[in-house]
Structure 1
Amino acid sequence: MTASNRKQAAPCGTWSSPITAHVVAAGAAPLSQVMLDGADVYWLAGRASEGGRNTLLRQRAGAVEEVTPAPFNVRTRVHEYGGGAFAVAGGGVWFSHYADSCLYRIGADGEPAPVCAGGTLRYADFVADAPRKRLVGVREDHGAGHAYPVNTICAIGFDGRETVLVDGNDFYAAPRISPNGRQLAWLCWDHPRMPWQGTELWLADIAGDGSLLNGRLVAGGPGESICQPEWSPSGVLHFVSDRTGWWNLYRFDGGVVAALCPREAEFGSPHWTFGGSMYGFRSASEIICTYIEQGVSKLARLVDGRLCPIDHPYQEIRELRVCGDTLAILGGAPTIALELARIDLARGTREVLARSIANVPDAGYLSVPQTISYPSANGRTAHAFFYPPANADFEPAAGEKPPLIVIGHGGPTGMASSTLKLATQFWTSRGIAVLDVNYGGSTGFGRAYRDALEGQWGVVDVEDCVAGARYLADQALVDRERLVIRGGSAGGLTTLCALTFHDVFKAGASYYGVSDLAGLDADSHKFESHYNEYLIAPKGEADAVYAERSPIHHTDKLKRPMIFFQGLDDKVVPPQQSEVMVQALRTRGVPVAYITLEGEGHGFRKADSIVRTLEAELYFYLRIFGIPIPQGLAPVAIENLAA
């Protein structure tokens, strides 16, 4: 190595990096909900520079065009988390506009025209029933007179008239019409279950007037989670079930349910949002599917019960759609940010249509994660991705071990992936290691691993994060005296519990995190209003457990500095969850910073919000650990911290 390209030794945390907060924000172009309509590919792209607006894009005849120009925001708030916000069929396009909850149709002139009234009614997961000139989808009625909104499956005529087709259950999803238009399949479930605990798959005949007849239960129940019902081209109903402990593929034919490919792998995912898809039909006899093994996605053809791998560069596949020889997927890998690719299955070619990050930084500044498994409490094994620091220009000072940020994902029935995320590389390119933990309760490792969190939220997740930090410190890979934990939403509770009930981490950051479980119950929306009965305890036993686990009741044990970030429009975890905790730390003299964001909800979408929070979090850690502050980094007011 010559002097001109020798790395410079510098304190971890001070390394200059091309991955600035502005670069992270500019790269924040979320891609979601892929659909195919013949040769046309549709997808949603988030625009952080436009206040987080979702726009619908289409590739047609090799050219990409915007279907929904500003101010249209293709988004729905059914179940608060949304998804399934548009449908396409036979050249027609329908979508939900976030501002008024109304459904719109793109006319022949390309201009959106309203289909329904919107207002207190919200719509999601709708499909076109063209012969009957209507959409069939999930409707959520937020009108007066109900403790919670009322969910139904509804037909919305192209003329705006609406008819309820199915009601009586607390929740519905995935209404799917058979190819011949004579049958409708759908999912439903009731409180207190979440859809990854127990759902039912129903089937009914469609009468001549469009109503439903002869509804019957096909599969599912309180202890079986069904997801993604789909019809094959020949009219055979397929679905995913975790009846064996793993989400596997099944078909319902001639009144009999048959497994297609029993395997210790996940062919489905939790229903947090509508419209997800992990398999589709190339023909009546061939399925193209993605599945997860040990947290990593695979892609394959399924023919006669055999999986035939399809070559691809991705380690995470979030969604796929199939139409003949055309496959559209959302995928990513450690050096590939989430992207939309179109694959020609006959030719074996791949074309990238859209990237969530337009300009990926030079590989020298990217940390490629190591997949690790390590021992945790009570004999459990936990899983995580470890990102060591990486920077083409810098290395740690002699004898220095890097600080570590441990991330607990949200959900908590979520999953950390290894897909390139600039928000992670922001830290590693500055000399700070990251551990992204798939704690017990995470998806991707089977139902038993998912159910490890039953009654144990705030315990198992915390133990696995603590064990991961200790494991890396014991391996001399990180500095034991500079261990940090951060998390958002459910991950925020993990963060607060780790700092309150354990003495491993030296600081933490909570993004719209849960501090008071009883308060979460009081403020929760319908979808999650009974979730804590599974995560914590049944209502009759909950009060004592809530008091035991809620950090807000144990602030005397919390002695570590913290920074809080909170969207003021958050309806999932309202601001008071952060404010009460901040006030408690303020009163006790613990160093604390509190950043609020106008116009942001549960998750930050605006570019300036992303910049502000990342830079504030970095500044906070540098001050707490006495690391020199880089020039130009805006200061943050930290109470109870000496200058």
Structure 2
Amino acid sequence: MDCHSLATLPRVVTISPYGTWASPISSAEAAAVASGPQWAGLHPDSSGSGEHLWWAEGQPTEGGRVALFRRFSGEAPVRLLSAPWNVRNRVHEYGGRPYVVLDDSRVVFTNWDDQRVYLLEIGSEPVALTPEPETRHGLRFGDLVAPPGGTEVWCVREEITGPGPTDVRRSLVAIGLDGSLRELCASHRFMTAPQSSPDGAHVAWIGWNHPDMPWDATELCVAPVGPDGSVGEHRVLAGGPGEAVCQVEWADNRSVYAVTDPDGWWNLFRIDLDGTARNLAPIEDELGGPLWKLGARWFAPLGDGRHAVLRGGTLAVLDENAGTVTDLDVPSLSWSSPLAASGSVVVGIASGSTSHGAVYRVDLKNGECDQVTVPPAGLDDPAWLPVPEARVFTGPDGERIPAYVYPPTNPDFAAPEGELPPYVVHVHGGPTGRISGTLDNEFTYFTSRGIGVVAVNYGGSTGYGRAFRERLREQWGVVDVQDCAAVATALAEEGTADPDRLAIRGGSAGGWTTAASLTSVKVYRCGAAYYPILDLLGWASGETHDFESRYLDSIVGKLPDTERRYLDRSPSTRVDQLAGPILMLQGLEDEICPPVQCERFASQLAGTGVEHAHLTFEGEQHGFRKAETVAVSLEAELSFYGQVLGFVPVGVPTLELSR
């Protein structure tokens, strides 16, 4: 028998209970793609013959640092900064755009370790442009942009003014390439970097104040620039209560393009300096998103009245002359911010149902869509990759609940006849975030072992308009919990999932919903909470960073009037109602959801008889970045589910549970 005949032999399928399937996808392989490319950008070549593509990319196997990459037209990508350089910053703790390209050979970037701004001339060592702060990370810079002139960089600066997490002052500053620094303005508590008009006579930026979050209400500001570079008094062109501007770019010297939502949907407007505004293509769809990270871009002007836009993750072209938004005929991918464009070329980051996030280059002239980066090998065999099914469920209040179902998928195994699989409900963070239904390395780790995953876009998620987003107003811990429970229950009732083996997992706000669910509904047997919020009152009273320190005003209620609500909904006050075991995983350098919340909860659980585990990780902030952390967490989570849901997973150490 020749090799060809062997290759065509039918695959031998082993019958084994769900959760016990052997998988070629190891925790190490899943961890290797824990952080993909980000902050893709495009810079025209000075010769006019092509363009440079730039992007940052997480390096999980190098301690989670972020590296900077560049690719010339037609050449292979080059990594410009080796360890220990780490192209990140702490502005708002979530960070802002960490680099800006000046020309073919110069780029300015922020470095995580000292939070300083550096100038890199290709071929030389980086040179610091900002001073060493008196206290560690006492000065932070982010959302870097390059105004006309090429002699300075504009950005947001954070100054730590005291010991408390809200002791922060922000301003817009100009950093000279000679190391000089001048303040431009400080209009709001929170601001995006200023954008210069083509003639340099005006600057525009977005600002907002507590208690608003940038998806609740922001203001689009414009101010004149004096001959000496000073910024004058600003005027508000758009935004205010109930309207959130999330991106601004100059159209010409007398008008700007802005994504804003006065009608409940983030659409693209052209706004003149006298305040006259026109929606360029009215559409009941989102062309913008939440400003979790400063520097996000959901549209990029192409010229001639056309713009590359993101419509709910789909790459499209908005034609302001025709008033239309047309999806591009490119491979089926889900695109994410930021977009960049130059001429007919669009660059962005996209992923698919069976493909990880990568940088893509689209040429609108010929329709070519080229993948620029290649994710690490190990998760590229489609036989083991679940194809998510987009579903819409109905909540208890009659509202629709979008979700993506990732079924157990392994070509080498099948479950015994009649057995239903365990399912894990995945809750995204934010809570003002969303799931896009693309390949997820953590989901695949579980589905390839016989555990289904359903990812829920509960009320409060973005991508469905302001009304859907505001379902969570004063209802956090209620609507999110009910929507996730409704999806889990529906899967059980239709025979997709085993009703006795349902679990829930999530990180940050998703960790909150995990714990809140376990202490308020009887749907799940257990849950895994990554860096969660567990005590609302503590979190709102000085235990989180400035950016979100007033977030709960809108999604829970204003203190002190609603203090009883804070107490009643917090898992920390409902430990005796815990429906089942809980696994908590926490980074010890987390400034957003601090370790003290898990520590207190674990102390409350001690001696109660409820099984639990509390894992902590040195050197991790909010969201795990190190490959070894991600791998240990996945193995612990799998062992946890096995012990509680009644199966013995293959090849992972047994997680010790406390009582």
TM range (shorter): over 0.9
Structure 2 residue 276 is the aligned partner of structure 1 residue 270: no
- The number of residue pairs the alignment matches comes to 636
Q: Distance in 1 between matches of 2:327 and 2:397?
A: 37
Given the two structures, how large is their TM-score scaled by the length of structure 1? 0.96
432 and 581 in structure 1: CA distance in 2 versus 1, 3 angstrom threshold: same
Matched letter for residue 358 of structure 2? E
Local SS of the residue matching 2:227: coil
Tell me if 1:89 matches 2:102. yes
Quickly say closer, same or farther: Cα 1:63–1:504, change in 2 above 3 A: same
Q: Aligned AA for 2:145?
A: V
Could you say what secondary structure the match of 2:237 adopts? strand
Which residue number in structure 1 is paired with residue 158 of structure 2?
Answer: 140
The Cα of 1:126 is off from its aligned counterpart by: 1.9
Q: Which residue in 1 is equivalent to 2:317?
A: 300
Q: 2:35·2:625 contact (CA, 8 Å) conserved in 1?
A: no
Deviation string, structure 1 residues 99-136 (Cα, Å, up to 9, x no partner): 11110001254321111114221111121235272111
- Equivalent residues in 2 for 1:119-138 (5 A)? 119=133, 120-131=138-149, 133-138=151-156
Over the residues paired in the alignment, what is the CA RMSD in angstroms? 1.7
Mapping for residues 113-512 of structure 1, pairs under 5 Å: 113-119=127-133, 120-131=138-149, 133-144=151-162, 148-232=167-251, 236-253=255-272, 255=274, 256-292=276-312, 296-304=313-321, 305-319=323-337, 320-512=339-531
Residue in structure 1 matched with residue 20 of structure 2 by the alignment: 14
Which moved further from structure 2: 94-103 or 211-220? 211-220
Rounded Cα–Cα distance in structure 1 between residues aligned with 2:196 and 2:235: 15
Deviates more, 1:145-154 or 1:425-434: 145-154
- Give the Cα–Cα distance (whole angstroms) in 1 for the partners of residues 272 and 255 of structure 2: 6
How many angstroms does 1:506 deviate by? Answer: 0.5
Alpha carbons of 1:290 and 1:600: their partners in 2 closer, same or farther (altered >3 Å)?
Answer: same
Change (3 A) 1:234 1:341: farther
When residues 559 and 28 of structure 1 are mapped into structure 2, their CA distance, relative to the original with a 3 A threshold, is closer
Counterpart Cα distance in 1 of 2:150 and 2:302:
27
In structure 1, the partner of 2:623 is: 603
Of the three residues 56, 67, 77, the one matched with 2:68 is 56
Quote the offset at 1:206 in angstroms.
Answer: 1.4
- What residue number does 2:614 align with? 594
Q: TM-score, normalization: structure 2?
A: 0.94
Comparing 168-177 with 124-133, which one deviates more in the overlay? Answer: 124-133
Query: Aligned AA for 1:18?
Result: P
Is contact 1:441–1:453 with CA below 8 Å preserved after alignment?
yes
Q: Distance in 1 between matches of 2:82 and 2:252?
A: 34
In structure 2, C-alpha distance between the alignment counterparts of 1:480 and 1:578, rounded to whole Å: 28
Match of 1:79 among 89, 92, 116: 92
Moved more, 122-131 or 394-403: 122-131
> Counterpart of 2:576?
556
**2:11 paired residue number:** 5
| Distance in 1 of aligned mates of 2:9 and 2:199 | 72
Instruction: Give unmatched runs, 5+ long, in structure 1.
Output: none
> Which of 532, 535, 541 is the equivalent residue of 1:516?
535
Map of 2:36 onto structure 1: 30
Q: Which residue of 1 aligns with 2:548?
A: 528
- Which residue of 97, 116, 137 maps to 1:102? 116
User: How has the CA–CA distance of structure 1 residues 181 and 314 changed in structure 2, closer, same or farther, with 3 Å as cutoff?
Assistant: farther
CA–CA distance in 1 between the matches of 2:389 and 2:243? 33
Question: SS where residue 297 of structure 2 aligns?
Answer: coil
Does structure 1 retain, via aligned residues, the 8 Å contact 2:102–2:108?
no
Task: Name the SS of the counterpart of 2:149 in structure 1.
Answer: helix
Contact 1:441 1:450 in 2 (8 A): yes
Residues 1:620 and 2:640 aligned together: yes
Query: Does the residue aligned with 1:392 lie in a helix, a strand or coil?
Result: coil
Contact 1:77/1:98 (8 A) holds in 2: yes
* Distance in 1, Cα, partners of 2:122 & 2:17: 61
Whether the aligned pair in 2 keeps the contact of 1:300 and 1:307 (CA below 8 Å) is yes
Shift of 1:579: 1.4
Contact 2:147 2:195 in 1 (8 A): no
Q: SS of 2:404's equivalent? A: strand
Give the partner amino acid of 1:141.
E
* Partner Cα separation in structure 1 for residue 163 and residue 617 of structure 2: 32
Describe the SS at the equivalent of 2:194.
strand
Contact 2:247 2:297 in 1 (8 A): yes
1:528 match: secondary structure: coil
Contact persistence 1:234–1:284 (CA under 8 A): no
Asked whether the equivalents of residues 341 and 354 of structure 1 are also in contact (C-alpha less than 8 Å), the reply is yes
Cα offset, 1:281, TM superposition: 1.4
Q: How far off its partner does 1:34 sit?
A: 1.1
Please tell me whether the aligned partners of residues 121 and 143 of structure 1 are also in contact (alpha carbons under 8 angstroms). no
* Alignment partner, residue 3 of structure 2: none
